[in-house]
Amino acid sequence: MGNTVMTTFLQYLVDSLLYQQTGNDVFDEIVYWSSFICEILAAIGVVILILKNEPVRKRQRPLDRLIFWECVMVFCENLLQISLVPLSYVEDRWADYAFFAAWTINEVLYLLIILQWLVCVDYCIYGSSDHLKRHYRKAVIPIVVIAILDMFHTVLYSLSSYGGDQIIAWDRLGQDVLHVLKLMLEAGYILTAVYVVRSHSKQSREPVFLRLGAFIIPFVFGALFRFYDASFAGFGIILTYAAIKRRDKYIDHKTGLYNPAYLDRICRYWDKKDYKDGSALFMSAAGHADDLSRILGNIRIPGSFNICMGEGKFVLITGFLRKSALKMAEETIMEDARENNVPFEPEILQMRRDRDETMAEFGVRIKETCRGS
């Protein structure tokens, strides 16, 4: 009895992966209508996310723009998925064409959503547009290929409706192959996101803001249970933004750098982890605060964090750099300042943590330097 139940469940899972009905009318109806309700809730959810979060509505930061367009794509995808319900009940040739055209757009849109979500996660961690261009400039090519194959399959399906058994067999084979290719591509994007987050966690001394379980699980479920993929994409983006907002309270939204509250947070975290080293660069540039913040925003040194202390004062705090490397960072900042449209000379002071000094005490010393400068 137990083996029969398990076999049935696995068969249902395989059918869901291939976007096929199970043959159990009651089960299929439950899946059908529950997915319809979830899609409505997901569409409403992303609209609420935009309306309730001013940074997303204004789209001033690159990350907010990524999130905004992700929400728009999720809304459109769920709207398309909802439109499939009435089309599936109409027995008409043109309704069939409309159904599969919408389905094709929906499937390609879902792949683009997962790719965009991966880009959001990567940008949230590394904060570099150049990094995104280097790593994901060709990531959309497989989606384009699958879109072409999907359109070809739609034509094949229309022929199979009026063709012989051979065309029908090819249509079924093509459908299964396409679903497997899409599943592999989705899994590739999801695994890349897992790798990006875990790799960053190992290399960085930053407190963990992006918890994998919070935002990975909906996309995994979306890949496994295809009838719910559109709604899971919506829930996944909502959870991802909730995770991003945990770090947002430590961001100075004018410069995009961390704010003074983050200095306290990072010092407490490093004391908790019992890190023994620590150093900082204190910087200021009268009349050129915006230029200096832009330069610091483009500098990404592993294990270091750029903090805007207010009033045109900035701190680069790090737990990894040796004295020679800190000097190199200082020279890089000075060189970029001299090559600015309006060249300037920032004031830079190296600060080293004393051997018997806690990070909290070092943080207090940094603040006193900022106030006294």
pLDDT above 90 (res 44) = yes
- Which of 201, 222, 248 corresponds to the end of one domain? 248
Pair 128, 95 in one domain: yes
**pLDDT of residue 63 exceeding 90:** no
Q: What is the mean pLDDT of residues 305-316?
A: 89
Split at pLDDT 50, 70, 90, the class of 32 is: confident
Asked if pLDDT for residue 305 goes beyond 80, the answer is yes
- Distances 358 to 2, 224, 321 between C-alpha atoms, Å: 59, 48, 17
Is residue 148 over pLDDT 90?
A: no
Rounded mean pLDDT, 229-255: 83
Q: What is the mean pLDDT of residues 278-304?
A: 84
Asked whether the beta carbons of 122 and 199 are under 8 A apart, the reply is: no
Q: Is 120 helix (H, G, I), strand (E, B) or coil?
A: helix
**CA 15/CA 17 separation, integer angstroms:** 5
Which long-range CB contacts under 8 A does 333-339 form with residues at least 24 apart? 333/281, 333/283, 333/292, 333/295, 333/296, 333/299, 336/295, 336/298, 336/299, 337/285, 337/288, 337/291, 337/292, 337/295
Q: Which of 222, 248, 274 is the last residue of a domain?
A: 248
Q: How confident is the model at residue 21 (pLDDT cuts 50, 70, 90)?
A: low
The encoded tokens of residue 372 equal: 């006294």
pLDDT score of 153: 73
Q: Are 312 and 286 in contact (CB under 8 A)?
A: yes
Report yes or no on 303 lying in a domain: yes
Q: What is the mean pLDDT of residues 163-174?
A: 59
Same-domain status, 243 and 274: no
Is residue 157 domain-shared with residue 11, that is, in the same domain? yes
Among 119-123, 166-170, 352-356, which stretch is predicted with the lowest mean pLDDT?
166-170
Closest CA to 258 of 280, 237, 239: 280
Q: Are residues 151 and 176 in the same domain?
A: yes
Structural domain ending residue among the three candidates 226, 248, 270: 248
**Sign of the Cα pseudo-torsion (163, 169, 172, 176, in order):** negative
Does the residue 63 lie in any domain?
Answer: yes
CATH number for the domain that contains residue 310: 3.30.70.270
* Together in a domain, 193 and 320: no
Q: What is the distance of C-alpha 337 from the center of its chain?
A: 32
Please give the average per-residue pLDDT across 124-134, as a whole number. 76
The answer for residues whose C-beta is within 8 angstroms of residue 264's C-beta and 6 or more apart is 360, 363
Same domain, 281 and 306: yes
Q: What is the CATH number of the domain that holds 243?
A: 1.20.1070
Q: Following DSSP, what letter does each residue of 146-177 receive, concatenated?
A: HHHHHHHHHHHHHHHTSS-HHHHHHHHHHHHH
Count of structural domains, the chain: 2
Beta strands in 30-151 (DSSP E): none
**Model confidence at 49, in pLDDT bands (50, 70, 90)?**
very high
- Kindly list the distances between the CA atom of residue 230 and the CA atoms of 79, 98, 220, in Å, as whole numbers in the listed order: 9, 19, 12
The H-or-E segment that residue 347 falls in is: strand 347-352
Judged on CB neighbours under 10 Å (0-12, 13-18, 19+), 322 is exposed
* Residue 310, in any domain of the structure: yes
Residue 253 in any domain: the answer is: no
Query: Does the pLDDT of residue 163 top 80, yes or no?
Result: no
Give the per-residue pLDDT at 186: 87
Q: Higher pLDDT residue, 286 or 320?
A: 286
Range of the domain at 188: 2-248
241 and 268 assigned to the same domain: no
Query: What's the whole-number mean pLDDT along residues 181-191?
Result: 87
Model confidence at 176: pLDDT above 90: no
Nearest-Å Rg of the Cα atoms of the chain is: 26
Pick the more confident residue, 55 or 176: 55
Any idea what the Cα angle at residue 75 is, between residues 71 and 76, rounded to 5°? 120
Tracing tokens 């990567």 back to the chain, one arrives at 122
- Is pLDDT at 144 greater than 80 in this prediction? yes
58 phi and psi angles, rounded to 5 deg: -80, -30
Comparing 16-20, 79-83, 184-188, 232-236, the range with the smallest average pLDDT is 16-20
- Evaluate if residue 166 carries a pLDDT over 60: no
Q: How many residues does the chain have?
A: 373
pLDDT of residue 226: 74
Q: Which residues of 348-370 are buried (b: 16+ CB within 10 A; e: fewer)?
A: beebebeeeebbeebbeebeebb
**71 and 120, same domain (yes or no):** yes
Residues 113 and 141 in one domain: yes
Domain membership of residue 366 (yes or no) is: yes
Q: Are residues 286 and 221 in the same domain?
A: no
In a domain, 255, yes or no: no
Indicate if the pLDDT at residue 75 is higher than 90: yes
Choose between 347 and 197: higher pLDDT. Answer: 347
Residue 295 has pLDDT above 60, yes or no: yes
Q: Is the pLDDT of residue 16 over 70?
A: no
Torsion sign across C-alpha atoms 213, 41, 61, 141:
positive
Q: Strand pairing partners for 282?
A: 315, 349
Q: Are residues 288 and 231 in the same domain?
A: no
Whether 139 is in a domain gets the answer yes
Long-range contacts of range 56-62, CB-CB < 8 Å, 24 or more positions apart? 56/241, 60/253, 61/253, 61/256, 62/123, 62/129
Highest mean pLDDT among 158-167, 209-218, 226-235, 341-350: 341-350
Q: What is the pLDDT of residue 86?
A: 74
Contact 279, 318 (CB under 8 A): yes
Q: 219 and 276, same structural domain?
A: no
